[in-house]
């Protein structure tokens, strides 16, 4: 089919590709990845669906501006490795983004075909070409600009830090990434479960960055092991990027939250993903399987926690205070969770946890109704007086968001923060301190991998300009 030119009508007649998946009953008992990925034939057929429209709205829909129609055209020709390289011009983590980006509200939603035919499966194609390139050992190291002699320190090895590192190393700067934990990747490593993002893929992306020349230093908590001042004054860095994530778990401040069996989603997911608690006792960090687990919250982190608990053998209920339409999680995640047998208790909010011998045994909730829209534009949940009910449970996972972790920022007296403790930046992600940039969740509060990468891209361009004495890029205030 490669060389044949199809008419737009013929292209639109091709049914939208769907990745085959593990069946729900099987996957609810293992930690293997859920979708299998497209076959080369499926990918080439799906790529034919792109009608090559002139205005390329998909690119505008992508926070890092991946050259989407260009890479899809290469897929259609069967040039998969070339397609992967085309993506890598603007996105250092295609295998990750192909899996965890919410394409349905970004590139795919922007696709001209979206409304009538369903957008081109850009995410599945991105994942396919990145996997193809990696699995066939076709990963090439791009040519770097000649050395500028400038040194950049990146604090935090999550998606925004990796983007900054990847961009700046190609521009000829010397880049070192500092990570507080013992494995690089930030939320990609400790937060997102194996069944959604296999850790071998994160490792491969990191090793690609290492081959580009990025240095990774683990087990350094900037703020405690060293300080930003020392990075400049003693280690001779010319610029610093702060991408440390939000990293302060929120609790509800209700009675019983300090009982055993009550976890923040951060703790639960870190025990599972980073510490491999689901392989206990082969690995030493315990993550005891619950019998009945309640997960409080309705975002992607809540879905990840619920699906992890399910895989450990629990009956799982998601308790969310608004209605189904307001669930902040991706539709695909909610769908997967439902397929796996996770129960949703909507319009319900915990008010109290019960304990016995120091261990949680149940939760009291109040029913909610929806009122007028609040600041977020979503209808405000209002408790229905007296409408209390109990759920029996032996584990509770609080997945209600994160705040700004102050470990680093409190050691930087001249760094301007907003009233919630997040770092204030301008449209180029510059902070109030000279030669210090910041981006990702420590600026915006908890958001997505790709938005953090978008912020990293903006910062990297600005850092490069500043380091080279060029005018600052003109960036639209978002």
Q: Which is nearer to another protein, 117 or 280 (CB)?
A: 280
Q: Please, which residue, 300 or 428, has the CB nearer to another protein?
A: 300
Closest listed residue to residue 93, CA positions, set 7, 38, 157:
157
* Cα–Cα distance measured from residue 349 to residue 76, given in angstroms and rounded to the nearest whole number: 49
Q: Which stretch binds another protein (CB under 8 A): 38-46, 91-99, 178-186, 364-372?
A: 178-186
Spatial separation of the C-alpha atoms in residues 328 and 306, rounded to whole Å: 15
Please list, residue by residue across 147-156, b when 16 or more beta carbons sit within 10 angstroms of its beta carbon and e when fewer do: ebebbbbbbb
CB of residue 123 vs another protein: minimum separation in angstroms? 29
Segment near another protein (CB under 8 A), from 93-101, 164-172, 336-344, 355-363? Answer: 355-363
Q: How far is the CB of 276 from another protein (least distance, A)?
A: 7
CA 294 → CA 98, 227, 279, 337, 420, distances in Å?
30, 40, 22, 14, 28
Number of residues that bind another protein (CB under 8 A): 43
Between 231 and 347, whose beta carbon lies closer to another protein? Answer: 231
The Cα 37–Cα 204 span in angstroms is 17
**251 contacts another protein (rule: CB under 8 A):** yes
Rounded to whole angstroms, the Cα distance separating 236 from 467 reads 14
Min separation Cβ 437 and another protein, Å: 21
Residue closer to another protein by CB (options 28, 246) is 246
Enumerate residues 220-239 that contact another protein by CB under 8 A: 220-221, 224-226
Distances (CA, A) of 126 to 35, 356, 405, 432: 14, 50, 33, 37
Return all residues near 173 (Cβ < 8 A) that are at least 6 apart: 148, 150, 151, 152, 464, 467
Instruction: Tell me if 283 contacts another protein by CB under 8 A.
Output: yes
282 binds another protein (CB under 8 A): yes
DSSP per position, 298-367: -SHHHHHHHHHHHHTT-EEEEE-SS-GGG--S-HHHHHHHHHTT-EEE-SEEEEEEEEETTEEEEEEEEE
Looking at 114, 139, 229, 280, which residue binds another protein (CB under 8 A)? 280
- CA proximity to 333, closest of 344, 322, 323: 344
276 binds another protein (CB under 8 A): yes
Kindly tell me which residue out of 30, 136, 207, 219 binds another protein, with binding defined by CB under 8 A. Answer: 219
Q: For residue 239, list its beta bridge partners.
A: 152
- For residue 258, the minimal CB distance to another protein (Å) is 6
Q: How far is the CB of 58 from another protein (least distance, A)?
A: 35
36 binds another protein (CB under 8 A): no
Restricted to residues 405-424, the positions that interact with another protein (CB under 8 A) are 405-407
Q: Is 270 in the site for another protein (CB under 8 A)?
A: yes
Interface segment toward another protein; rule CB under 8 A; list 78-86, 302-310, 351-359, 382-390: 351-359
Residue-wise DSSP of 29-80: T--S-SB----HHHHHHHHHT----TT-HHHHHSTT---HHHHHHHHHTT-H
351 is a contact residue toward another protein (CB under 8 A) = no
Give the shortest CB-245-to-another protein separation in angstroms: 8
User: Which is closer to another protein, CB of 253 or CB of 413?
Assistant: 253
- Find, among 379, 382, 354, 378, the residue nearest to 367 by Cα: 382
- Residue 377 CB, shortest distance to another protein, in Å, is 30
Identify the helix (H) or strand (E) that includes residue 406. helix 406-409
Q: Quote the CA–CA distance of 122 and 128 in Å, as a whole number.
A: 10
Closest to another protein by CB, 6 vs 221, is: 221
Residues in touch with another protein (CB under 8 A): 180-182, 190, 218-221, 224-226, 247-249, 251, 253, 257-261, 263-264, 266-267, 270-271, 275-276, 280-286, 288, 357-359, 405-407
């Amino acid at each position: 089919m490669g060389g044949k030119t199809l008419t737009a009508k013929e292209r639109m007649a091709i049914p939208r590709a769907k990745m085959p998946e593990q069946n729900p009953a099987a996957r609810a008992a293992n930690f293997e990845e859920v979708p299998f990925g497209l076959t080369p034939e499926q990918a080439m057929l799906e790529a034919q669906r792109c009608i090559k429209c002139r205005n390329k709205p998909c690119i505008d829909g992508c926070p890092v501006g991946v050259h989407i129609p260009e890479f899809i055209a290469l897929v259609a020709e069967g040039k998969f490795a070339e397609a992967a390289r085309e993506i890598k011009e603007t996105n250092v983590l295609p295998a990750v983004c192909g899996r965890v980006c919410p394409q349905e509200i970004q590139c795919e939603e922007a696709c001209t075909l979206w409304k009538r035919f369903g957008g081109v499966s850009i995410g599945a194609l991105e994942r396919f070409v990145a996997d193809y390139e990696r699995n066939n050992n076709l990963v090439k190291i791009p040519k770097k600009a000649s050395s500028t002699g400038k040194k950049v320190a990146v604090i935090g090895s999550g998606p925004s830090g990796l983007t900054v590192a990847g961009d700046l190393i190609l521009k000829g700067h010397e880049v070192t990434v500092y990570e507080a934990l013992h494995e690089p990747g930030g939320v990609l490593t400790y937060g997102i479960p194996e069944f959604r993002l296999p850790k071998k893929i994160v490792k491969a992306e990191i090793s690609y960055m290492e081959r580009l020349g990025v240095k990774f230093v683990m087990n350094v908590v900037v703020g405690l092991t060293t300080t930003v001042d020392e990075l400049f004054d003693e280690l001779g860095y010319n610029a610093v990027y702060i991408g440390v994530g939000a990293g302060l778990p929120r609790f509800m401040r209700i009675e019983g939250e300090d009982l055993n069996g009550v976890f923040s989603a951060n703790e639960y997911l870190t025990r599972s993903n980073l510490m491999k608690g689901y392989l206990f006792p082969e690995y030493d960090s315990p993550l005891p399987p619950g019998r009945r687990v309640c997960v409080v919250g309705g975002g992607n982190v809540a879905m990840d926690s619920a699906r992890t608990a399910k895989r450990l053998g629990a009956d799982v209920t998601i308790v969310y205070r608004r209605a189904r339409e307001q669930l902040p999680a991706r539709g695909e995640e909610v769908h997967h969770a439902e397929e796996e047998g996770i129960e949703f208790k909507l319009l319900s909010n915990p008010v109290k946890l019960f304990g016995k011998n120091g261990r949680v045994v149940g939760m009291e909730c109040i029913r909610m109704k929806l009122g007028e829209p609040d600041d977020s534009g979503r209808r405000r949940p209002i408790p229905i007086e007296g409408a209390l009910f109990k759920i029996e449970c032996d584990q509770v996972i609080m997945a209600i968001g994160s705040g700004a972790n102050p470990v680093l920022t409190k050691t930087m007296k001249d760094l301007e923060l907003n009233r919630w403790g997040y770092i204030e930046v301008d449209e180029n992600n510059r902070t109030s301190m000279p030669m210090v940039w910041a981006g990702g969740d420590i600026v915006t509060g908890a958001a997505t991998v790709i938005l953090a990468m978008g912020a990293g891209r903006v910062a990297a361009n600005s850092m490069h300009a500043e380091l080279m004495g060029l005018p600052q890029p003109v960036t639209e205030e978002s």
